[in-house]
Amino acid sequence: MTLGEEDLESLREILRLTDGMPLGILLAAAWVDMLSIPNIAAEIAKNLDFLESTAVDMPDRHRSVRAVFHYSWDLLSTAERTTFAALSIFRGGFTREAAEAVATASLRDLAGLARKSLLRADPKTGRYSVHELLRQFAERELASDMERHSEVSQLHSGFYANLARNSFDKVHSPHQIRMMEILEPDLDNVRLAWRHYIDVNDPARLCQMVGALWWAHELRGWYHAGLALLNLALEKVPADDESRESLAFRADALAVHAAFAGVLGHHDIADAESEEALSMARVTGDPESLLLASHLRAQTLLYLGRIPEIPPIVEQAIALAEGPAGSDWETGRFWAAGLKTLEAFALLATGDVEHARRLLDESRERLEPSGELFYMSWNFGHRARLAMREDRPDDAVELFSQSADRARRLGSLRTLQVALFGLGDARLATGDPVGAGRAFVESLSAAERTGMVPEMLATIVRIARAMAANGETGEAVELLAMIEAEPDSAGQLFTEGESVEATAFAALAELELAFDQAEFAELRTTGAQLRYRSVVKQFVETVSSTQDPA
């Protein structure tokens, strides 16, 4: 067989799954005449017994990877088998604290298993990992004892539900980066706990985890993965359960689901769900649910372009956060500052500049001394838009750069995409098309990683404008014609007042004067045949991981 470029990622996955084990690679290779490389990788990931040979000239313990593992398993003591089987419940590794809480494994137990090459310890991170094929083997052994499996599963889920809740508490503190350092390595474990509580129908525990899942998937731009997790819960947890716990869970889950759907352009779903979530949160009367639902309803309205509806919702939420019940409530003060930043954008868009400026000052006064990054990134971005409005593009470059810096430090992709998009506009306004192009291309890379189609298309329009300003008018026309012909260009960004298609059409009209009619028509025809995803890929490949246009 001949390996194609499309097979390389799957081949790397096979090597990862087998950990380079010669027998594993040999047994995987035996399937190449029947299955594609991606299919072989998928089969190994879900079934250890896939790696088995029927050859008669092999020793029994070399006929399959399972046989090799069984030989090692038989050499363990009963206590070691019990501990190692329990450790198979983890996904993506675990900490010493998790091993002790879930598998009652002491440091001595972990060291013993590591000496026998059943565990790998990373002294730098303090985490342990199990080879995936070994984990599959041990998991089957654990599953053979249903009572023990149930006990371990409950301990695992409880540990990671608490970890999710405790890490989300750091959102309201100066430790947002630390929160992701705790949560991200164990996100697969948190997701497994989420599925467990769906299966046992525990809305109280699910509610405990929604905030952390929202934050992690929002920061990293994992909107599709987040929607899948929330869909699973919303479909399986009974909708007719009117207990306070169930209502609180559905309010939080629907609010986050709506926010992700809105970002990805599913506006009808986002509108209905965010409105329902806010209604449910009001019924529960839970302050945190009300603040989350209000915030995400306002965000959804941004993406719907219904900006005048935002201030009344946000102002009610701010009053709750700053009222008597929240005056000594750090979480409330955090939400109030964040909501003021959001409302400021709405006020800027509707022309109430001085009110917006006042809210941005109040928000900054609360957030900046603590080192908060997420809302301060948006705060600097809105200040930059205010500077652009007041014809201060040099100030806007500095402010958008500050916004992008905070987004990078936190790893917030959507915030980074918006900041870099604005930075490109500001640099164009200062007469720096090359710097603008770099900012736009990095913004495009962030949009591509999150799957935000309108943002990708709008950024290509801006790249075309930067190219035209740099004398590359023919290429610019082709890109704009591609966008104009793209059905998805009917959408618009929340920072823009018109559709992507309209901005492309306007830019084409400006460039048309630079060409004779036949040449312009030919460029438009060529551009209309391009496909934006291929163009995005070409641009993104030019972005260095260390590039910093700011």
Q: What tens-digit pLDDT sequence spans the chain (550 residues)? A: 566 666 677 767 666 656 555 545 545 554 565 567 777 677 656 555 555 544 444 444 444 555 556 666 777 899 999 999 999 999 999 999 999 999 999 999 999 999 887 898 999 999 999 888 788 888 989 999 999 999 999 999 999 999 999 999 888 777 889 889 999 999 999 999 999 999 999 999 999 999 999 999 999 999 999 999 999 999 998 888 888 899 999 999 999 999 999 999 899 999 999 999 999 999 999 998 999 999 999 999 999 989 999 999 999 999 999 876 544 567 888 899 999 999 999 999 999 999 999 999 999 999 998 889 999 999 999 999 999 999 999 999 999 999 999 999 999 999 999 999 999 999 999 999 999 999 999 999 999 999 999 999 999 999 999 999 999 999 999 999 999 999 989 888 878 878 899 999 999 999 998 899 999 999 999 999 999 999 999 999 887 544 544 4
Sole residue written with tokens 């608490």: 162
454 neighbors 263 (Cβ within 8 angstroms): no
**Cβ contacts of 449 within 8 Å, gap of 6 or more:** 221, 413
Instruction: Report pLDDT for 267.
Output: 92
Instruction: Report pLDDT for 71.
Output: 61
Three-class SS of residue 329? coil
Name the strand (E) or helix (H) holding 129: strand 127-129
- Beta carbons within 10 angstroms of residue 31's beta carbon: 16
CA distance 82 to 104: 10
CA distance 433 to 430: 9
Instruction: Report pLDDT for 20.
Output: 54
CA distance 197 to 203: 7
CA distance 210 to 144: 32
CA distance 224 to 188: 15
Burial 236-250 (b: 16+ CB within 10 A, else e): ebeeeeeeebbbbbb
Instruction: Report pLDDT for 327.
Output: 44
The pTM (predicted TM-score) of the whole model is: 0.84
Instruction: Report pLDDT for 544.
Output: 52
Residue type, 212: A
Name the strand (E) or helix (H) holding 27: helix 22-29
Longest dimension (CA), the chain: 84
Three-class SS of residue 534? helix
Instruction: Report pLDDT for 58.
Output: 47
Question: What is the rounded (10 degree) CA torsion for 491, 494, 500, 502?
Answer: 100
Instruction: Report pLDDT for 225.
Output: 95
| Helix, strand, coil distribution of the chain in percent, nearest 5 | 75, 0, 20
472 neighbors 464 (Cβ within 8 angstroms): no
CA distance 481 to 433: 20
Instruction: Report pLDDT for 16.
Output: 61
Three-class SS of residue 94? strand
At residue 256's C-alpha, the angle toward residues 255 and 257, to 5°, is 95
Sole residue written with tokens 């036949």: 518
Helix residue ranges, H only, 323-452? 330-350, 353-367, 374-389, 393-410, 413-429, 433-450
At residue 251's C-alpha, the angle toward residues 246 and 256, to 5°, is 125
- Give the phi and the psi of residue 305 in degrees, each rounded to 5: 80, 15
- Beta carbons within 10 angstroms of residue 251's beta carbon: 26
Domains of the chain in start order, with CATH, are 5-69 (no CATH), 76-144 (1.10.10), 152-370 (1.25.40.10), 397-540 (1.25.40.10)
Instruction: Report pLDDT for 171.
Output: 83
